[in-house]
Amino acid sequence: MEKEIIALLIKRDFLGLEQFIDLLGSDIVKCIQALLNHPEEITYRKEAENEVFYRI
């Protein structure tokens, strides 16, 4: 399944991004939350999530 998702992402097919987010999105969000865990950083979490998924 991962190879199919990668192939779709390479083709810039939006379905690949949707499948990627379904598969790994929660893990990425958890990592961002762990990294941005100080009170002054919490406001940047959503921005970081959007940037990560945009870059993918």
Model pLDDT, residue 2: 87
Is 28 within a domain? Answer: yes
> How do residues 1-56 score in pLDDT, each as one tens digit?
889 999 999 999 999 999 999 999 999 999 999 999 998 898 999 999 999 988 88
pLDDT score at 28: 95
Q: How many CB atoms lie within 10 A of CB 48?
A: 17
Closest CA to 41 of 50, 33, 51: 33
Distance CA 48, CA 35 (A): 10
Is 38 inside any structural domain? yes
Residue 35 lies in a domain: yes
pLDDT of residue 56: 83
Total domains, the chain: 1
**pTM for this prediction:** 0.77
State phi, psi for 33 to the nearest 5 degrees: -65, -35
Which residue range(s) make up the domain with 43?
Answer: 21-56
* 27: in domain: yes
Per-residue pLDDT at 37? 92
